[in-house]
Amino acid sequence: MTTAQPAVAVQAPPAAAHRRTADGNAKYIFLLPAMTYLLILGVFPLLFSLRLVFGAWNAGQKNITWVGLDNIQRLLADSRFWDSFWKTLAFVALAAGLELLLGLAVALALQNVTRGKDWMRVAFAFPMLLPPIAVSFTWKMLFDYNRGPVNYFLENLGLDRVAWLAGQQSALVSLVVVDLWQWTPFIVLAALAALESLPIELYEAATVDGASRWDLLWQITLPLVQPYLVAIVLLRAIDAFKVFDTIYILTGGGPGTATEMLTFYAYVAGFRPFNMGFTATISWAIVIIMSIIFFLFLRAFRRLEEA
């Protein structure tokens, strides 16, 4: 009895033990390079920049000096920063929200047609792949007050010309339009994927039960894709926070400071005048803000899922 057990105990492990030891190293060798890479080039520099949050490296200085809480105090007291914060929130909400609606609409439309679906999907995906700098120049031309086609079309439709790049609010709208043009395809593709993953049996069953198309849409489709959509919108919102290239080209932050979003504000008020400490402070503020929003969103999302 006692001799038989050890025999069994010894026999079963070899295959498993072999895999475990083989895996043992592989587990780390596969994972660690990527992780180390991101630690070195992502986390470490971020922590290094903490030194600059409490320090200063300005024009004419040779070395980094210590200034304690000065940068933070300056930032918190800076109304331009807080303006930028609210503007960025507004921009992100507007952009992500509109992209969601439009993207979903286009995806639903795509699902509904039979001809040309494939090449339409590819054509619609173009904007996502183009350099934002080039896209911004294109829209700068389109939005030109006197010579741009957008105002030309508006006039021909009997509407007033809009000062796209020069009005306080319209400049923000212009940014949203450009972002919309470039990134709605992202939502379209994701929504399309989600829609196509829905089991067709549900629809068949519902139609048999006498549901109309409208019912199908509202009662089945939308609730089922909602979790996917929330995740996608969250991703899009995070990216929208980082908007920079478009502002650089389209408005330069103007008129006045109307389109100074957070990243651009950090660049133009901190990096360009060689105020490295202040730039680091603003950057850390951005990281904190984004993290808070991200986690808030996640919490709401999880709660939604449980409901």
Which residue from 48, 66, 82, 218 is in contact with other proteins, where contact means CB under 8 A? 48
Which residue from 95, 232, 233, 240 is in contact with other proteins, where contact means CB under 8 A? 232
Which residue from 120, 173, 206, 224 is in contact with other proteins, where contact means CB under 8 A? 120
User: Do residues 283 and 266 lie in contact, with contact meaning Cβ atoms separated by under 8 Å?
Assistant: yes
Give kind and range of the element (H or E) at residue 30. Answer: helix 13-38
CA distance 177 to 73: 35
Nearest alpha carbon to residue 289 among 226, 246, 244, 241:
241
Which residue from 81, 91, 139, 183 is in contact with other proteins, where contact means CB under 8 A? 139
First to last CA, the chain: 55
User: Position of tokens 């922590």?
Assistant: 47
List binders of other proteins among 152-191 (CB under 8 A). Answer: 152, 161, 163-168, 181, 185, 189-190
List binders of other proteins among 195-214 (CB under 8 A). Answer: 196-197, 212-213
Nearest alpha carbon to residue 49 among 278, 238, 294:
278
For residue 108 the two structure tokens come to: 């639903």
Q: Please tell me whether residue 302 binds other proteins under the rule CB under 8 A.
A: no
Give kind and range of the element (H or E) at residue 55. Answer: strand 55-56
Kindly write out the interface string for residues 68-107 of this chain, putting x where it contacts other proteins by CB under 8 A and - elsewhere. ----------------------------------x--xx-
Q: Please tell me whether residue 220 binds other proteins under the rule CB under 8 A.
A: no
Which residue from 54, 85, 228, 297 is in contact with other proteins, where contact means CB under 8 A? 228
Q: Please tell me whether residue 142 binds other proteins under the rule CB under 8 A.
A: yes
